[in-house]
């Protein structure tokens, strides 16, 4: 059985930068090694190389742009993300939305560069549309619950089940993550029991006084 993925997005929280980011990465490495659960992190771009070099965990970019090498000042080049050591990338996060054409181009670039692609969506219809693009993961996150402290697993388990079914109907090879308000092992267990392959989360780990303790709780029931 493939391990569920716990993917921690550090966003641009102060608590997820510098030495704080390394503390979270070290905790992810420790808990992942002890539990056998895959725990990845998505740090700010400048941390991708040091994180990928210093910790035995999968490191994800928070975003890539649908560009190729050339005159694209200020954009995030997928080739450079891969060269920095990233294992994968988020695409179309609710805080960094893209057009459908750009999502498609980013998924294709990820596939070409062997970056694991995680396309974020906000409902079952967009999850089905994303699945048609053949990413590695679709991550369903109702935007109204992101950062709310209210878990999607408890507040709206139906959207998880509908999204899993919608994705599988389009492409059964695409795995599903869920996010928004995930904060405990119970939340993760509900999500996995509903057919997902793990969770995408942020503040409950990043802003915690003891990130390692939170991670241990998250993996405790799977």
Annotated binding site for substrate: 9-11, 146, 181, 202-203
116 is catalytic: no
Annotated binding site: 9-11, 146, 181, 202-203
In this structure, what is the dihedral angle of CA atoms 51, 36, 141, 91, given to the nearest 10 degrees? Answer: 40
E strand spans, 122-183:
137-140, 175-179
- Residue 213 CB partners (closer than 8 Å, separation 6+): none
Per the residue annotation, which of 141, 161, 186, 212 is the catalytic one?
A: 141
93 is catalytic: yes
Distance, in Å, from the CA atom of 207 to the CA atom of 17, rounded to the nearest integer, reads: 11
User: Six-digit token pair at 162?
Assistant: 């509908």
Per the residue annotation, which of 15, 47, 63, 93 is the catalytic one?
A: 93
CB atoms within 10 A of CB 93: 22
Active site amino acids: 93, 141
């Amino acid at each position: 059985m493939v391990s569920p993925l716990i993917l921690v997005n550090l966003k641009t929280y102060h608590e997820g930068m510098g030495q704080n980011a390394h503390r979270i990465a070290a905790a992810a490495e420790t808990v992942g090694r002890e539990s056998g659960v895959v725990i990845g992190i998505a740090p700010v771009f400048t941390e991708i190389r040091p994180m990928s070099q210093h910790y035995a965990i999968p490191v994800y970019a928070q975003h890539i742009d649908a560009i190729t090498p050339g005159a694209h000042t200020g954009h995030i080049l997928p080739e450079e993300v891969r060269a920095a050591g990233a294992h994968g990338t988020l695409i179309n996060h609710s805080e960094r939305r893209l057009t459908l054409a750009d999502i498609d181009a980013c998924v294709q670039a990820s596939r070409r560069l062997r970056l694991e692609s995680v396309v974020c969506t906000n409902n079952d219809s967009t999850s089905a549309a994303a699945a048609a693009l053949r990413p590695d993961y679709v991550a369903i996150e109702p935007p109204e619950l992101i950062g709310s402290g209210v878990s999607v697993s408890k507040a709206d388990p139906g959207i998880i089940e509908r999204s899993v079914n919608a994705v599988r109907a389009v492409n059964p090879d695409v795995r599903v993550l869920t996010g928004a308000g995930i904060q405990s092992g119970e939340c993760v267990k509900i999500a996995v029991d509903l057919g997902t392959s793990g969770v995408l989360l942020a503040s409950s780990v990043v802003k915690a006084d003891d990130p390692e303790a939170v991670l241990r709780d998250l993996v405790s029931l799977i």
